Chains A and B, each alone.
Chain A
């Protein structure tokens, strides 16, 4: 199984901050990585697919980059509604494993 390791596990930030979350895969996955946002008690919400493609309806302050084994999710200017937990997921091979999550707190 491909292991996905996110860092940090949690971070504290302020409104307006630029936030970067990284995800490293245990083997190369090309650009087959997705990013999801999840708020407490809610289902996940797709932000980015294929490393850098912004899902329809997602604000442009969210962006993704990377290829191979190292990937980044960036929030250019953190908004109050962005405080949540973020997960990466690889879609290169089965099982389609998730990272352990990064909690973004105030």
Chain B
């Protein structure tokens, strides 16, 4: 069974730093791309970024609102995905989800498994 468990959320002051983790199990983590998606309270889903696999040089993409502040990385030896968040702002307050990406020829890509999410609150 695919399992994704996020951790590391909490209360942080504006301008602060936080590192989220996503522990994966039940599938071959190293073969998969992984996404981060967030949801501010009462708002919609926002795509944060993507981590590609070793075969694609571990390349990453980041969404416009977090580019330059957030960094996605992974450690295949630990089956873990990370999101380092710097210069946090009040508008970064959200539940952060990690998701396993599936891809196929002419199918694009999509997240077929999600973690339960971890809440990040940015406030003084």
Interface residues of A in 41-56 (CB under 8 A from B): 43-46, 49-50, 53, 55
From B47, B49, B102, name the one whose CB has the most chain A CB atoms within 10 angstroms.
B47
List A contacts of B45 (CB < 8 A): 36, 38, 44, 87, 89, 98, 101
A25 at the interface (CB under 8 A from B): no
A44-B114, A46-B112 as given contacts; A1 in contact with B44, CB under 8 Å: no
- For residue A12, CB closer than 8 A to chain B, the reply is no
B116 touches A49 (CB 8 A): no
Does A92 sit within 8 A of B, measured CB to CB? yes
Does chain B have a CB within 8 A of A69? no
User: Quick one: given A44-B45, A98-B46, are A91 and B109 in contact (CB under 8 Å)?
Assistant: yes
The answer for the CA separation of A19 and B46 in the assembled complex, in Å, is: 25
Chain A residue contacts of B2, Cβ below 8 A: none
Contact present for B108 and A49 (CB under 8 Å): yes
Chain B contacts for A31, CB-based, 8 A = 106, 108
The B interface is mostly helix, strand or loop, or mixed, namely strand
Instruction: Tell whether A59 is near chain B: CB-to-CB under 8 Å.
Output: no
Query: Which residues on A sit within 8 Å (CB–CB) of B115?
Result: 43
* B64 → chain A closest CB, angstroms: 6
Interface of A is mostly: loop
Question: Are A49 and B110 interface neighbours, CB within 8 A?
Answer: yes
Chain A residues contacting B11 (CB-CB under 8 Å) are none
Closest residue of chain B to A100 (Cβ to Cβ) is B44
Give the residue of B50, B62, B97, B110 whose beta carbon is less than 8 angstroms from that of A34: B110
Contact indicator per residue, chain B 86-123, by CB within 8 Å of chain A (1) or not (0): 00000000000100001010111111101111000000
A92 cross-chain contacts in B, Cβ below 8 A: 108
Q: How far is the CA of A31 from the CA of B110 in the complex (A)?
A: 12
Chain A residues in contact with chain B, CB under 8 A? 1, 31-34, 36, 38, 43-46, 49-50, 53, 55, 87, 89, 91-92, 94-101
Q: Supply 5 A–B pairs (Cβ within 8 Å), ascending by A.
A: A1-B64, A33-B108, A92-B108, A96-B50, A100-B44
